[in-house]
Copies of this chain bind each other. A is one copy, B any other.
């Protein structure tokens, strides 16, 4: 690459989240960085896009080392707006996060952080999502920054296969206690919902979605298992949802 890499940083916790500052600081060591992130928290937005209402882009100020923009949209909207309207050219790398909280297992499908990375890969741009296993606003991103740097170095060196982005989860441990990185499969684990039913001041019922996380997966090489053992998990994620192994079987039935 003759030119300095152009790096887009986004997230789903919103442009003011400490996690996006941590990621921006790391990104600045690798190229020219522009931040385009939601103007409010967008956790759980999955791959949502805004097609039935309007979108706004707000130019903020330069902070640390990067120009910052916020948008009224979802994380996926941010990627689309950045690539098409904000950046002067297609970025060389998209970084999403660092998310305050886990995005391991098949729950990636709900994640705004990872959906931004997946959208990047759909547009042919090498993309990585980062998440720290601590959802506190005061989470310590020191170890996350060390490992974000390692992962970015590898992606810039080796590239990524077409149609694939990376999902990186970092255990909530001091850097000295993290055992290294492991390439894993998504664990087949999920949230079992328990809706917390309440009554509003007018006497009407409403719900909060809540639940408990249950891991059904006994395999050794899942992200959940690696994280529990103190490793950073790295999962290659694809946007092709075709269940290729089922195609042949179904053809006999249809």
Tell me if A1 counts as interface (CB < 8 A to partner B): no
Number of interface residues of A (CB under 8 A): 71
Which chain B residue has the least Cβ–Cβ distance from A244? B185
Q: Is the interface of A mostly helix, strand, loop or mixed?
A: mixed
Contact in complex: B183, A250 (CB < 8 Å): yes
Interface flags for A141-158 (1: CB within 8 Å of B; 0: not) read: 000000000000010001
Interface flags for A64-88 (1: CB within 8 Å of B; 0: not) read: 0000000000101100110111000
Tell me if A47 counts as interface (CB < 8 A to partner B): yes
Report B-chain residues with C-beta under 8 Å of the C-beta of A186: 240-242
Tell me if A118 counts as interface (CB < 8 A to partner B): yes
Tell me if A56 counts as interface (CB < 8 A to partner B): yes
Contact in complex: A51, B209 (CB < 8 Å): yes
Which chain B residue has the least Cβ–Cβ distance from A122? B190
Q: What separation, in Å, do the CA atoms of A246 and B158 have in the docked complex?
A: 13
Q: What separation, in Å, do the CA atoms of A121 and B243 have in the docked complex?
A: 12
Interface flags for A214-241 (1: CB within 8 Å of B; 0: not) read: 0000000000000000000011111111
Binding site for B on A (CB under 8 A): 41, 43-52, 54-57, 74, 76-77, 80-81, 83-85, 106, 108-110, 115, 118, 122, 154, 158, 161, 163-164, 181-186, 188, 190, 193-195, 197, 204-209, 234-244, 246-247, 249-251, 253-254
A-B contact pairs, 28 of them (CB 8 A): A44-B52, A47-B47, A47-B109, A49-B110, A51-B209, A54-B208, A56-B204, A56-B207, A80-B209, A81-B207, A84-B193, A106-B240, A109-B122, A118-B241, A154-B253, A161-B249, A163-B188, A163-B243, A183-B247, A183-B251, A186-B240, A234-B250, A236-B246, A236-B247, A237-B241, A237-B242, A238-B243, A238-B246
